[in-house]
Amino acid sequence: MDSSVTKTDRTTTVATATSTSVFIPSPATPYQGDIARYWDHEARPVNLRLGDVDGLYHHHYGIGDVDHAALGDAENSAYEKKLIAELHRLESAQAELLLDHLGPIERDDTVMDAGCGRGGSMVMAHQRFGCKVEGVTLSARQADFANRRARELGIEDHVRARVCNMLGTPFETGQAKASWNNESSMYVDLHDLFAEHSRVLATGGRYVTITGCWNPRYGQPSKWVSQINAHFECNIHSRREYLRAMADNRLVPQAVIDLTPATLPYWELRATSSLVTGIEEAFINSYKDGSFQYLLIAADRI
Ligand SMILES: C[S@@+](CC[C@H](N)C(=O)[O-])C[C@H]1O[C@@H](n2cnc3c(N)ncnc32)[C@H](O)[C@@H]1O
Ligand SMILES: CC(C)=CCC/C(C)=C/COP(=O)(O)OP(=O)(O)O
Ligand SMILES: [Mg+2]
């Protein structure tokens, strides 16, 4: 056994390279163990090279029109670099839209990022509002990455990622003025998820999700939706499930925005790039045949 790792029945303590010990709760289920491993080992250029543009590392997709003038001619030697910058600009625009829907956040407020990934949205939230941002992810590598970025930016006293299950967070009841899931709700049961957001949010607080969901009007999840599930080991919910689970947990939708037309340019541009991962066709086809939708839902905690 690796001597740097001590295991008890419920927890693992890892001595990191800097010899600080991080306390890692065991995943609640074997599935969560799979997801933790998946994100611990993820290092796709489409994510790392985009993040390198300005140090905001995202694991979500983009929205908005492509700036073809900024991209220039595909024959140009700088085209690849410009294309990466353009995809990254569209991904950051997606996070800005999510933050636009959080409502007024003050410097002394706390907000929670459920499934925070490498922390790009957390940094943006702190830079915009000056508030404290608490993130949770199943992946110790992602949490380390996000906390390292926060230290590099000198904002570690305001931005912190923890290795933790978003269905049972260590935050106090009513502690958060706002909370969100940015493309992280397809890994959990929505009733359990919204029960936890509802607990952590203050009354009058705001919850926002941007997510891909299957369209009940299509009938059942299409083959493209099944392909996306298999690719990411996730379980995409239907739009109806989101609205029902919110209603059952004191979350009242204030805005439901179909971002499908706004995300297609991102996918069509990405499909032409050298950073393709093979999942582009499934997103493009499912958005076009109406079986899948890219949605923002903002809800008030009543
Ligand atoms: C696609 S990434 C999104 C990351 C981030 N929200 C962003 O926009 O860059 C999905 C994230 O959800 C997290 N996640 C999945 N299931 C989780 C759970 N039960 N508890 C905490 N995090 C979870 C993963 O660890 C990963 O960080
Ligand atoms: C909208 C849906 C269904 C999202 C599923 C969750 C997910 C994996 C998001 C993007 O992560 P990523 O940025 O790591 O993926 P990629 O490597 O494809 O850019
Ligand atoms: Mg990505």
Q: What is the ipTM of this complex?
A: 0.99
What is the DSSP pairing of strand 5-7 with strand 132-137? Answer: unpaired
Instruction: Choose which residue among 96, 184, 259 to substitute to test ligand 1 binding: the one with the highest number of ligand atoms within 8 A of its C-beta.
Output: 184
Does 220 reside within a domain? Answer: yes
The predicted pLDDT at position 3 comes to 36
Is the distance from CB of 106 to CB of 129 less than 8 angstroms? yes
pLDDT digits (tens, 9 = 90+) for 92-108: 999 999 999 999 999 99
Compute, in angstroms, the gap from residue 143 CA to the centroid of ligand 2.
17
What CATH number is given to the structural domain containing 192? 3.40.50.150
pLDDT digits (tens, 9 = 90+) for 25-79: 667 899 999 999 999 999 999 999 999 999 999 999 999 999 999 999 988 889 9
% of the chain with per-residue pLDDT over 70: 91
The predicted pLDDT at position 8 comes to 35
Does 168 reside within a domain? Answer: yes
The predicted pLDDT at position 28 comes to 86
Does 21 reside within a domain? Answer: no
Ligand nearest the Cα atom of residue 186: 2
Does 20 reside within a domain? Answer: no
Compute, in angstroms, the gap from residue 185 CA to the centroid of ligand 1.
8
Q: Give the atom of ligand 1 at the shortest distance from the alpha carbon of 39.
A: 25
Q: Three-class SS of residue 299? A: strand
Domain containing residue 275: 30-301
The predicted pLDDT at position 77 comes to 86
Q: Which residues of 239-268 are buried (b: 16+ CB within 10 A; e: fewer)?
A: bebbbebbeebbbeeeeeeebbebbbbbbe
Compute, in angstroms, the gap from residue 6 CA to the centroid of ligand 2.
32
**CA quadruple 36, 40, 43, 48: dihedral positive or negative?**
positive
Q: Give the atom of ligand 1 at the shortest distance from the alpha carbon of 118.
A: 9
Compute, in angstroms, the gap from residue 61 CA to the centroid of ligand 2.
7
Six-digit token string for 55: 């140090």
Does 277 reside within a domain? Answer: yes
Cα atoms found within 13 Å of the Cα of residue 213, Cβ hemisphere only: 23
Does 196 reside within a domain? Answer: yes
Does 293 reside within a domain? Answer: yes
Domain count, the chain: 1
Q: What is the pTM of this model?
A: 0.94
Does 152 reside within a domain? Answer: yes
The predicted pLDDT at position 24 comes to 58
Q: Cβ of 131: how many Cβ atoms within 10 Å?
A: 20
Q: Which residues line ligand 1 (CB under 6 A)?
A: 32, 35, 39, 58-60, 115-117, 120-121, 136-139, 142, 165-167, 182-184, 187-188
DSSP letters spanning 225-291: HHHHHHHHT--PPBHHHHHHHHHTTTEEEEEEEE-HHHHHHHHHHHTTSTT--S-HHHHHHHHHHTS
Query: Burial level of 148, CB count in 10 A (0-12/13-18/19+)?
Result: middle
**Residue numbers of the chain with a pLDDT score lower than 70:** 1-26
